[in-house]
Protein backbone atom coordinates (compact mmCIF):
# COMPACT_ATOMS: atom_id res chain seq x y z
CA UNK A 1 0.00 0.00 0.00
CA UNK A 2 2.81 2.40 0.91
CA UNK A 3 4.58 1.56 -2.32
CA UNK A 4 1.49 2.42 -4.34
CA UNK A 5 1.14 5.67 -2.43
CA UNK A 6 4.79 6.57 -3.21
CA UNK A 7 4.26 5.88 -6.91
CA UNK A 8 1.10 7.98 -6.93
CA UNK A 9 2.93 10.80 -5.15
CA UNK A 10 5.68 10.67 -7.78
CA UNK A 11 3.15 10.95 -10.58
CA UNK A 12 1.66 14.14 -9.21
CA UNK A 13 4.92 15.51 -7.84
CA UNK A 14 5.14 19.27 -8.46
CA UNK A 15 8.88 18.89 -9.11
CA UNK A 16 8.27 16.23 -11.75
CA UNK A 17 5.62 18.34 -13.47
CA UNK A 18 7.83 21.43 -13.34
CA UNK A 19 10.87 19.67 -14.82
CA UNK A 20 8.74 18.09 -17.55
CA UNK A 21 7.24 21.44 -18.52
CA UNK A 22 10.66 23.09 -18.60
CA UNK A 23 12.11 20.28 -20.70
CA UNK A 24 9.23 20.55 -23.19
CA UNK A 25 9.69 24.33 -23.36
CA UNK A 26 13.43 24.02 -24.03
CA UNK A 27 12.87 21.35 -26.71
CA UNK A 28 10.41 23.61 -28.48
CA UNK A 29 12.58 26.71 -28.21
CA UNK A 30 15.64 24.89 -29.56
CA UNK A 31 14.03 22.81 -32.31
CA UNK A 32 10.76 24.46 -33.35
CA UNK A 33 11.55 28.03 -34.41
CA UNK A 34 10.22 27.88 -37.96
CA UNK A 35 7.35 30.17 -38.92
CA UNK A 36 4.87 27.33 -39.45
CA UNK A 37 1.48 26.78 -37.84
CA UNK A 38 2.70 23.68 -36.00
CA UNK A 39 5.80 25.36 -34.56
CA UNK A 40 3.79 28.43 -33.56
CA UNK A 41 1.25 26.30 -31.67
CA UNK A 42 4.08 24.40 -29.99
CA UNK A 43 5.80 27.63 -28.90
CA UNK A 44 2.72 29.13 -27.28
CA UNK A 45 1.56 25.79 -25.92
CA UNK A 46 4.90 25.10 -24.24
CA UNK A 47 4.93 28.65 -22.84
CA UNK A 48 1.48 28.16 -21.31
CA UNK A 49 2.58 24.75 -19.96
CA UNK A 50 5.68 26.09 -18.21
CA UNK A 51 3.78 29.05 -16.70
CA UNK A 52 0.97 26.82 -15.43
CA UNK A 53 3.44 24.26 -14.03
CA UNK A 54 5.44 27.03 -12.36
CA UNK A 55 2.37 28.42 -10.62
CA UNK A 56 1.14 24.93 -9.68
CA UNK A 57 4.49 23.77 -8.27
CA UNK A 58 4.95 26.98 -6.30
CA UNK A 59 1.51 26.74 -4.71
CA UNK A 60 1.98 23.10 -3.69
CA UNK A 61 5.57 23.29 -2.46
CA UNK A 62 6.44 23.63 1.17
CA UNK A 63 8.13 27.00 0.75
CA UNK A 64 10.24 26.86 3.88
CA UNK A 65 11.48 23.36 3.09
CA UNK A 66 12.12 23.87 -0.61
CA UNK A 67 13.50 27.40 -0.36
CA UNK A 68 11.38 28.49 -3.34
CA UNK A 69 10.47 32.12 -2.79
CA UNK A 70 9.00 34.72 -5.08
CA UNK A 71 10.74 38.06 -4.77
CA UNK A 72 11.85 40.97 -6.90
CA UNK A 73 15.63 40.55 -6.92
CA UNK A 74 18.47 41.83 -9.10
CA UNK A 75 17.63 39.67 -12.10
CA UNK A 76 13.94 40.53 -12.06
CA UNK A 77 14.69 44.25 -11.65
CA UNK A 78 17.20 44.09 -14.51
CA UNK A 79 14.70 42.45 -16.84
CA UNK A 80 12.03 44.93 -15.79
CA UNK A 81 14.38 47.85 -16.53
CA UNK A 82 15.02 46.46 -20.02
CA UNK A 83 11.29 46.05 -20.67
CA UNK A 84 10.50 49.57 -19.43
CA UNK A 85 13.29 51.21 -21.45
CA UNK A 86 12.32 49.21 -24.54
CA UNK A 87 8.68 50.18 -24.14
CA UNK A 88 9.48 53.86 -23.64
CA UNK A 89 11.68 53.85 -26.74
CA UNK A 90 8.52 53.46 -28.85
CA UNK A 91 7.91 57.18 -28.25
CA UNK A 92 11.07 58.22 -30.10
CA UNK A 93 11.49 55.23 -32.44
CA UNK A 94 11.25 55.28 -36.22
CA UNK A 95 8.70 52.43 -36.20
CA UNK A 96 6.93 51.62 -32.92
CA UNK A 97 5.58 48.40 -34.42
CA UNK A 98 9.08 46.95 -34.53
CA UNK A 99 9.60 47.99 -30.92
CA UNK A 100 6.50 46.13 -29.74
CA UNK A 101 7.38 43.00 -31.73
CA UNK A 102 10.76 42.79 -30.02
CA UNK A 103 9.23 43.77 -26.69
CA UNK A 104 6.67 40.97 -26.96
CA UNK A 105 9.41 38.38 -27.49
CA UNK A 106 11.41 39.81 -24.60
CA UNK A 107 8.31 39.72 -22.41
CA UNK A 108 7.77 36.02 -23.16
CA UNK A 109 11.28 35.03 -22.12
CA UNK A 110 11.02 37.33 -19.07
CA UNK A 111 7.90 35.52 -17.89
CA UNK A 112 9.69 32.17 -18.21
CA UNK A 113 12.71 33.52 -16.33
CA UNK A 114 10.47 34.85 -13.57
CA UNK A 115 9.01 31.33 -13.25
CA UNK A 116 12.38 29.55 -13.36
CA UNK A 117 14.58 31.77 -11.20
CA UNK A 118 12.94 30.99 -7.81
CA UNK A 119 13.64 27.28 -8.41
CA UNK A 120 17.39 27.86 -8.84
CA UNK A 121 18.10 27.69 -5.12
CA UNK A 122 20.86 25.02 -5.01
CA UNK A 123 23.69 23.58 -7.05
CA UNK A 124 21.54 20.51 -7.58
CA UNK A 125 18.83 22.67 -9.16
CA UNK A 126 21.39 24.36 -11.44
CA UNK A 127 22.76 21.00 -12.58
CA UNK A 128 19.24 19.71 -13.20
CA UNK A 129 18.48 22.64 -15.49
CA UNK A 130 21.79 22.13 -17.33
CA UNK A 131 20.88 18.47 -17.86
CA UNK A 132 17.48 19.48 -19.21
CA UNK A 133 19.23 21.87 -21.60
CA UNK A 134 21.57 19.12 -22.81
CA UNK A 135 18.62 16.79 -23.36
CA UNK A 136 16.73 19.47 -25.28
CA UNK A 137 19.78 20.26 -27.42
CA UNK A 138 20.13 16.55 -28.22
CA UNK A 139 16.48 16.56 -29.29
CA UNK A 140 17.26 19.54 -31.53
CA UNK A 141 20.06 17.59 -33.21
CA UNK A 142 17.73 14.66 -33.85
CA UNK A 143 15.10 16.97 -35.36
CA UNK A 144 17.77 18.49 -37.63
CA UNK A 145 18.79 15.00 -38.77
CA UNK A 146 15.19 14.20 -39.65
CA UNK A 147 14.38 17.50 -41.35
CA UNK A 148 17.57 17.97 -43.37
CA UNK A 149 17.65 16.11 -46.72
CA UNK A 150 20.44 13.52 -46.92
CA UNK A 151 21.79 15.16 -50.10
CA UNK A 152 22.38 18.44 -48.22
CA UNK A 153 24.74 17.09 -45.55
CA UNK A 154 28.22 18.39 -46.22
CA UNK A 155 27.15 20.37 -49.28
CA UNK A 156 24.81 23.02 -47.83
CA UNK A 157 24.77 24.84 -44.51
CA UNK A 158 22.69 23.05 -41.86
CA UNK A 159 19.69 25.19 -41.05
CA UNK A 160 19.67 27.30 -44.21
CA UNK A 161 18.28 24.44 -46.29
CA UNK A 162 15.24 24.18 -43.96
CA UNK A 163 14.79 27.93 -43.52
CA UNK A 164 16.43 28.24 -40.10
CA UNK A 165 19.30 30.45 -39.00
CA UNK A 166 22.55 28.52 -39.46
CA UNK A 167 24.51 30.82 -37.16
CA UNK A 168 22.01 30.35 -34.33
CA UNK A 169 22.06 26.57 -34.77
CA UNK A 170 25.86 26.73 -34.73
CA UNK A 171 25.86 28.58 -31.40
CA UNK A 172 23.39 26.10 -29.90
CA UNK A 173 25.42 23.07 -31.00
CA UNK A 174 28.49 24.72 -29.45
CA UNK A 175 26.57 25.05 -26.19
CA UNK A 176 25.69 21.36 -26.39
CA UNK A 177 29.35 20.41 -26.85
CA UNK A 178 30.38 22.48 -23.82
CA UNK A 179 27.69 20.88 -21.65
CA UNK A 180 29.01 17.46 -22.73
CA UNK A 181 32.50 18.42 -21.53
CA UNK A 182 31.10 19.52 -18.18
CA UNK A 183 29.07 16.37 -17.58
CA UNK A 184 32.02 14.18 -18.62
CA UNK A 185 33.76 15.47 -15.52
CA UNK A 186 30.71 14.96 -13.30
CA UNK A 187 29.61 11.55 -14.56
CA UNK A 188 32.76 9.61 -15.37
CA UNK A 189 30.82 6.42 -16.10
CA UNK A 190 29.05 8.20 -18.96
CA UNK A 191 32.21 9.52 -20.61
CA UNK A 192 31.92 7.28 -23.69
CA UNK A 193 28.33 8.25 -24.66
CA UNK A 194 29.02 11.87 -23.72
CA UNK A 195 32.15 11.86 -25.90
CA UNK A 196 30.08 10.57 -28.79
CA UNK A 197 27.48 13.28 -28.16
CA UNK A 198 30.24 15.90 -28.00
CA UNK A 199 31.50 14.79 -31.42
CA UNK A 200 27.94 14.98 -32.79
CA UNK A 201 27.54 18.56 -31.55
CA UNK A 202 31.02 19.57 -32.78
CA UNK A 203 30.31 18.10 -36.22
CA UNK A 204 26.99 19.94 -36.26
CA UNK A 205 28.75 23.22 -35.51
CA UNK A 206 31.15 22.69 -38.43
CA UNK A 207 28.37 21.68 -40.84
CA UNK A 208 26.44 24.89 -40.16
CA UNK A 209 29.22 26.66 -42.07
CA UNK A 210 29.22 29.34 -39.37
CA UNK A 211 32.57 31.02 -38.79
CA UNK A 212 31.51 32.22 -35.36
CA UNK A 213 30.48 28.66 -34.41
CA UNK A 214 33.96 27.34 -35.25
CA UNK A 215 35.63 30.11 -33.26
CA UNK A 216 33.26 29.63 -30.31
CA UNK A 217 33.90 25.87 -30.33
CA UNK A 218 37.65 26.40 -30.11
CA UNK A 219 37.44 29.24 -27.58
CA UNK A 220 35.11 27.53 -25.11
CA UNK A 221 36.87 24.15 -25.22
CA UNK A 222 40.29 25.70 -24.61
CA UNK A 223 39.11 28.03 -21.84
CA UNK A 224 37.07 25.38 -20.00
CA UNK A 225 39.96 22.89 -19.94
CA UNK A 226 42.32 25.64 -18.84
CA UNK A 227 40.08 26.52 -15.90
CA UNK A 228 39.40 23.00 -14.62
CA UNK A 229 42.91 21.57 -15.13
CA UNK A 230 45.97 21.72 -12.86
CA UNK A 231 49.02 23.81 -13.72
CA UNK A 232 50.84 21.09 -15.68
CA UNK A 233 47.66 19.95 -17.35
CA UNK A 234 46.93 23.54 -18.34
CA UNK A 235 50.19 23.66 -20.30
CA UNK A 236 49.42 20.32 -21.90
CA UNK A 237 45.86 21.44 -22.64
CA UNK A 238 47.12 24.64 -24.29
CA UNK A 239 49.58 22.66 -26.42
CA UNK A 240 46.88 20.12 -27.26
CA UNK A 241 44.43 22.84 -28.33
CA UNK A 242 47.06 24.50 -30.52
CA UNK A 243 47.70 21.15 -32.20
CA UNK A 244 43.94 20.55 -32.53
CA UNK A 245 43.43 23.93 -34.19
CA UNK A 246 46.20 23.23 -36.67
CA UNK A 247 44.85 19.77 -37.48
CA UNK A 248 41.31 21.12 -37.82
CA UNK A 249 42.29 23.76 -40.36
CA UNK A 250 44.48 21.23 -42.18
CA UNK A 251 41.50 18.88 -42.35
CA UNK A 252 39.18 21.62 -43.58
CA UNK A 253 41.68 22.63 -46.22
CA UNK A 254 42.10 19.09 -47.58
CA UNK A 255 38.47 17.97 -47.44
CA UNK A 256 36.75 19.35 -50.54
CA UNK A 257 33.20 19.27 -49.16
CA UNK A 258 34.08 20.90 -45.83
CA UNK A 259 36.45 23.35 -47.52
CA UNK A 260 33.63 24.60 -49.75
CA UNK A 261 31.24 24.70 -46.78
CA UNK A 262 33.36 26.35 -44.08
CA UNK A 263 37.08 26.19 -44.93
CA UNK A 264 36.97 28.92 -47.56
CA UNK A 265 34.92 31.13 -45.23
CA UNK A 266 37.55 30.75 -42.50
CA UNK A 267 40.29 31.59 -45.01
CA UNK A 268 38.51 34.81 -45.97
CA UNK A 269 38.18 35.73 -42.30
CA UNK A 270 41.88 35.04 -41.65
CA UNK A 271 42.91 37.04 -44.73
CA UNK A 272 40.74 39.94 -43.59
CA UNK A 273 42.35 40.09 -40.14
CA UNK A 274 45.86 39.79 -41.56
CA UNK A 275 45.16 42.62 -44.00
CA UNK A 276 45.78 40.54 -47.13
CA UNK A 277 42.15 40.83 -48.24
CA UNK A 278 39.09 42.99 -47.73
CA UNK A 279 37.10 39.85 -46.94
CA UNK A 280 34.19 38.24 -48.75
CA UNK A 281 30.77 39.79 -49.37
CA UNK A 282 29.44 38.71 -45.97
CA UNK A 283 32.31 40.37 -44.11
CA UNK A 284 32.05 43.58 -46.14
CA UNK A 285 28.31 43.78 -45.51
CA UNK A 286 28.80 43.23 -41.79
CA UNK A 287 31.32 46.09 -41.76
CA UNK A 288 28.75 48.31 -43.47
CA UNK A 289 26.16 47.39 -40.83
CA UNK A 290 28.60 48.14 -38.02
CA UNK A 291 29.63 51.47 -39.51
CA UNK A 292 25.97 52.46 -39.97
CA UNK A 293 25.12 51.45 -36.40
CA UNK A 294 28.05 53.44 -35.03
CA UNK A 295 26.98 56.55 -36.95
CA UNK A 296 23.43 56.14 -35.63
CA UNK A 297 24.79 55.97 -32.10
CA UNK A 298 26.79 59.17 -32.62
CA UNK A 299 23.60 60.86 -33.83
CA UNK A 300 21.45 59.53 -30.94
CA UNK A 301 23.94 58.73 -28.14
CA UNK A 302 21.70 58.80 -25.04
CA UNK A 303 18.57 56.80 -25.99
CA UNK A 304 19.17 55.57 -29.54
CA UNK A 305 16.57 55.31 -32.28
CA UNK A 306 14.28 52.79 -30.59
CA UNK A 307 14.43 49.10 -29.72
CA UNK A 308 14.73 46.82 -32.77
CA UNK A 309 14.82 49.79 -35.14
CA UNK A 310 18.19 49.35 -36.85
CA UNK A 311 16.61 47.24 -39.59
CA UNK A 312 13.91 49.91 -39.95
CA UNK A 313 16.63 52.50 -40.48
CA UNK A 314 18.16 50.38 -43.26
CA UNK A 315 14.75 50.15 -44.92
CA UNK A 316 14.27 53.91 -44.62
CA UNK A 317 17.46 54.57 -46.60
CA UNK A 318 16.49 52.00 -49.25
CA UNK A 319 19.01 49.30 -48.34
CA UNK A 320 17.89 45.94 -49.73
CA UNK A 321 19.01 43.62 -46.91
CA UNK A 322 17.33 45.31 -43.95
CA UNK A 323 18.41 43.16 -40.97
CA UNK A 324 20.08 43.50 -37.57
CA UNK A 325 23.49 45.14 -37.33
CA UNK A 326 25.14 41.70 -36.66
CA UNK A 327 26.97 43.17 -33.66
CA UNK A 328 25.29 43.18 -30.25
CA UNK A 329 27.31 46.08 -28.85
CA UNK A 330 26.49 48.37 -31.75
CA UNK A 331 22.90 47.15 -32.07
CA UNK A 332 22.14 48.21 -28.50
CA UNK A 333 24.15 51.44 -28.74
CA UNK A 334 22.30 52.48 -31.91
CA UNK A 335 18.81 51.46 -30.75
CA UNK A 336 18.85 52.11 -26.98
CA UNK A 337 21.89 54.39 -26.69
CA UNK A 338 24.42 54.43 -23.89
CA UNK A 339 21.53 54.07 -21.40
CA UNK A 340 20.45 50.70 -22.74
CA UNK A 341 24.07 49.62 -23.22
CA UNK A 342 24.93 50.23 -19.56
CA UNK A 343 21.76 48.56 -18.29
CA UNK A 344 22.11 45.46 -20.48
CA UNK A 345 25.83 44.74 -20.11
CA UNK A 346 26.06 45.70 -16.43
CA UNK A 347 24.48 42.36 -15.52
CA UNK A 348 27.01 40.43 -17.62
CA UNK A 349 29.90 42.38 -16.09
CA UNK A 350 28.67 41.70 -12.55
CA UNK A 351 28.03 37.98 -13.08
CA UNK A 352 31.35 37.37 -14.84
CA UNK A 353 33.26 39.24 -12.13
CA UNK A 354 31.68 37.09 -9.40
CA UNK A 355 32.34 33.86 -11.29
CA UNK A 356 36.07 34.49 -11.82
CA UNK A 357 37.34 33.50 -8.37
CA UNK A 358 35.51 30.15 -7.99
CA UNK A 359 36.20 29.30 -11.64
CA UNK A 360 39.96 29.76 -11.17
CA UNK A 361 39.70 27.58 -8.07
CA UNK A 362 38.65 24.69 -10.34
CA UNK A 363 34.97 24.69 -9.44
CA UNK A 364 33.63 22.98 -12.57
CA UNK A 365 30.17 24.51 -12.33
CA UNK A 366 31.59 28.03 -11.93
CA UNK A 367 34.01 27.38 -14.81
CA UNK A 368 31.18 26.24 -17.06
CA UNK A 369 28.99 29.24 -16.29
CA UNK A 370 31.94 31.64 -16.67
CA UNK A 371 32.83 30.21 -20.08
CA UNK A 372 29.21 30.36 -21.28
CA UNK A 373 28.72 33.99 -20.25
CA UNK A 374 32.18 35.07 -21.43
CA UNK A 375 31.58 33.55 -24.84
CA UNK A 376 28.28 35.44 -25.10
CA UNK A 377 29.97 38.72 -24.21
CA UNK A 378 33.05 38.24 -26.43
CA UNK A 379 31.13 37.02 -29.46
CA UNK A 380 28.67 39.90 -29.28
CA UNK A 381 30.98 41.27 -31.97
CA UNK A 382 29.20 38.95 -34.43
CA UNK A 383 25.81 38.21 -32.82
CA UNK A 384 23.06 39.84 -30.75
CA UNK A 385 22.32 38.17 -27.44
CA UNK A 386 19.52 40.56 -26.54
CA UNK A 387 17.21 38.83 -29.01
CA UNK A 388 18.39 35.29 -28.18
CA UNK A 389 16.26 33.58 -25.54
CA UNK A 390 18.88 31.06 -24.33
CA UNK A 391 21.33 33.79 -23.27
CA UNK A 392 18.88 35.03 -20.63
CA UNK A 393 18.67 31.52 -19.17
CA UNK A 394 22.45 31.04 -19.06
CA UNK A 395 22.93 34.51 -17.55
CA UNK A 396 20.27 33.66 -14.97
CA UNK A 397 22.15 30.46 -14.10
CA UNK A 398 25.34 32.43 -13.53
CA UNK A 399 23.61 34.91 -11.25
CA UNK A 400 21.84 32.13 -9.34
CA UNK A 401 25.18 30.37 -8.76
CA UNK A 402 26.74 33.51 -7.28
CA UNK A 403 23.73 33.91 -4.98
CA UNK A 404 23.97 30.30 -3.77
CA UNK A 405 27.70 30.66 -3.17
CA UNK A 406 27.20 33.89 -1.23
CA UNK A 407 24.58 32.29 1.02
CA UNK A 408 27.01 29.47 1.78
CA UNK A 409 29.82 31.83 2.68
CA UNK A 410 31.77 31.42 -0.56
CA UNK A 411 32.15 27.65 -0.34
CA UNK A 412 31.36 25.22 -3.12
Classify each residue of 235-252 as buried b or exposed e, where b means 16 or more C-beta atoms within 10 Å of its C-beta.
eebeeebeeeeeebeeeb
Within 10 A of 91 (CB to CB), how many other CB atoms are there? 10
- Helix 328-360 × helix 74-88 angle, to 10°: 170
SS3 per-residue string spanning 360-400: HCCCHHHHHHHHHHHHHHHHHHCCCHHHCHHHHHHHHHHHH
Question: pLDDT class for 357, splitting at 50, 70, 90?
Answer: very high
pLDDT of residue 149: 80
Average pLDDT over residues 367-381: 94
Q: How does pLDDT run across 70-107, given as a tens digit for each residue?
A: 566 789 899 999 999 999 999 999 999 999 999 999 99
- Which percentage of the chain shows pLDDT scores above 70? 77
pLDDT of residue 55: 79
* Cα–Cα distance, 405 to 189 (Å, whole number): 28
pLDDT of residue 16: 82
* Cα–Cα distance, 180 to 198 (Å, whole number): 6
Question: Looking at the predicted structure, is the pLDDT value of residue 401 above 70?
Answer: yes
Average pLDDT over residues 5-13: 44
Q: In Å, what is the CA distance from 318 to each residue of 40, 190, 289, 312, 314?
A: 31, 55, 14, 10, 6
pLDDT of residue 50: 92
Task: Tell me the Cα Rg of the chain.
Answer: 22
Residues in the chain: 412
**DSSP class per residue in 240-277:** HHHHHHHHHHHHHHH-HHHIIIIIHHHHHHHHHHHTS-
Question: Looking at the predicted structure, is the pLDDT value of residue 242 above 70?
Answer: no
* Cα–Cα distance, 30 to 269 (Å, whole number): 28
pLDDT of residue 3: 45
* Cα–Cα distance, 181 to 178 (Å, whole number): 5
Classify each residue of 355-390 as buried b or exposed e, where b means 16 or more C-beta atoms within 10 Å of its C-beta.
beebbeeebbbbbbbbbbbbbbbebbebbbbbbbbb
pLDDT of residue 267: 55
Q: How does pLDDT run across 184-238, given as a tens digit for each residue?
A: 988 888 989 999 999 899 888 888 877 788 889 888 988 898 888 866 565 566 6
Cα-based angle 367, 373, 375 (whole degrees, multiple of 5): 95
Amino acid sequence: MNRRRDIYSLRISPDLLWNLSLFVYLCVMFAHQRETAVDTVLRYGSLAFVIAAGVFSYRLQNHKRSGIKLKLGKFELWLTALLVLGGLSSFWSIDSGNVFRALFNLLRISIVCFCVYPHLNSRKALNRLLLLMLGALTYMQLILLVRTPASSWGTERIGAVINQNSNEIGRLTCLGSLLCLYFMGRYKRLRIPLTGLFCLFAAGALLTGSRSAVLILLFQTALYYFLVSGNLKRILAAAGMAAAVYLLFLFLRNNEALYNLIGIRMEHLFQFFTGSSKGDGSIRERLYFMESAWNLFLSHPILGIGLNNFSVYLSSIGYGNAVYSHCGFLEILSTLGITGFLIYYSMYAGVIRRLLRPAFRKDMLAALLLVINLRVLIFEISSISMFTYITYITLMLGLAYTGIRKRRGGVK
